[in-house]
Structure 1
Amino acid sequence: MESPIAPPPVWGDRLGVDRRGRLVADRYRLERLLFHGPGGTIWIAQDEVLRRRVALKQILLSRDLPAARERELRELTLRGARALALLSSPYVVTIYDILPSTTTGPVLVMEYVEGSSLADVVRDRGGLPVGAVATIGVAVASALLAVHEVGVVHRDVKPANVLVAGDGRVKLTDFGIARRMRSTSAAFAEESRRAAEPGHAVGRQVRGSPAYLAPELAAGVEPGPPTDAWSLGGTLFAAVEGHPPFASDTAQETFRSVLNDPVPPAPRAGALAPVINGLLVKSPALRMTVPHALDQLRPIADDPTGLAVRLDGWPPLSA
Structure 2
Amino acid sequence: MRTSRRHRTVAGRYLLLDLVGAGGMGAVWRARDLRSGDTVAVKLLARHDTDTGLLLRFVHEQSVRIRHPHVLAPTGWAAEDELVVLVMDLVRGGSVHDLLRDHGALPEPTVRVLLDQLLQALEAVHAAGVVHRDLKPANLLLDATGRGRPHLRLADFGVAATAAEQRIAVGGLDLDGPIGTDGYLAPGHSADRPDPRQDLYAAGRVGVELLTGARASDRVPWGPLQPLLHALTEPDPGRRTPSAAAALAHLRAIGGPASDVHPLVPDRLSARRPRLAEWLDRRT
Shorter-chain-normalised TM-score: which range?
0.7 to 0.9
Identical residues among aligned pairs (%): 30
Aligned residues of 1:135 and 1:301 also touching (Cα < 8 A): no
TM-score normalised by length of structure 1:
0.72
State the secondary structure of the residue aligned to 1:46.
Answer: strand
Aligned residues of 1:165 and 1:317 also touching (Cα < 8 A): no
Residue identity matched to 2:59: L
Q: d(CA) in 2 for partners of 1:103 and 1:39? A: 19
Match of 1:249 in 2: none
Task: State whether structure 2 residue 225 is matched by structure 1 residue 272.
Answer: yes
State the secondary structure of the residue aligned to 2:102.
Answer: helix
Higher RCO (CA-CA < 8 Å; seq separation 6+): 2
Residue identity matched to 2:62: A
Q: d(CA) in 2 for partners of 1:317 and 1:170? A: 15
Q: Shift in Å at residue 216 of structure 1?
A: 2.8
Match of 2:172 in 1: none
1:189-228 equivalent positions in 2, closer than 5 A: 206-217=178-189, 220=191, 222-228=193-199
Q: Which runs of 5+ in 1 are unaligned?
A: 9-18, 184-203, 247-263
Q: Shift in Å at residue 75 of structure 1?
A: 2.5
Cα deviations by residue, 1:174-223 (Å, 9 ceiling, x for unpaired):
0010011149xxxxxxxxxxxxxxxxxxxx97531111111135x63522
Match of 2:3 in 1: 7
State the secondary structure of the residue aligned to 1:141.
Answer: helix
Aligned residues of 2:162 and 2:194 also touching (Cα < 8 A): no
Match of 1:241 in 2: 212
- Give the number of aligned pairs: 254
Aligned residues of 1:169 and 1:309 also touching (Cα < 8 A): no
**Structure 1 residue aligned with 2:248, among 286, 294, 297?**
294
Match of 1:133 in 2: 111
Match of 1:253 in 2: none
36-45 or 286-295, which deviates more: 36-45
**Structure 2 residue aligned with 1:283, among 222, 231, 236?**
236
Task: Describe the shift of the 1:240–1:104 C-alpha distance in structure 2 as closer, same or farther (beyond 3 A).
Answer: farther
State the secondary structure of the residue aligned to 2:29.
Answer: strand
Aligned residues of 1:119 and 1:160 also touching (Cα < 8 A): yes
TM-score normalised by length of structure 2:
0.80
Task: Let me know the Cα RMSD of the aligned residues.
Answer: 2.7
Q: Which runs of 5+ in 2 are unaligned?
A: 166-175, 271-284
Match of 2:137 in 1: 159
Q: Shift in Å at residue 314 of structure 1?
A: 4.7
Aligned residues of 2:96 and 2:137 also touching (Cα < 8 A): yes
Task: Describe the shift of the 1:288–1:277 C-alpha distance in structure 2 as closer, same or farther (beyond 3 A).
Answer: same
Q: d(CA) in 2 for partners of 1:54 and 1:164? A: 15
Q: Shift in Å at residue 279 of structure 1?
A: 0.3
Match of 1:57 in 2: 43
Q: Shift in Å at residue 237 of structure 1?
A: 1.1
Q: d(CA) in 2 for partners of 1:309 and 1:214? A: 34
State the secondary structure of the residue aligned to 1:163.
Answer: strand
Q: Shift in Å at residue 78 of structure 1?
A: 2.0
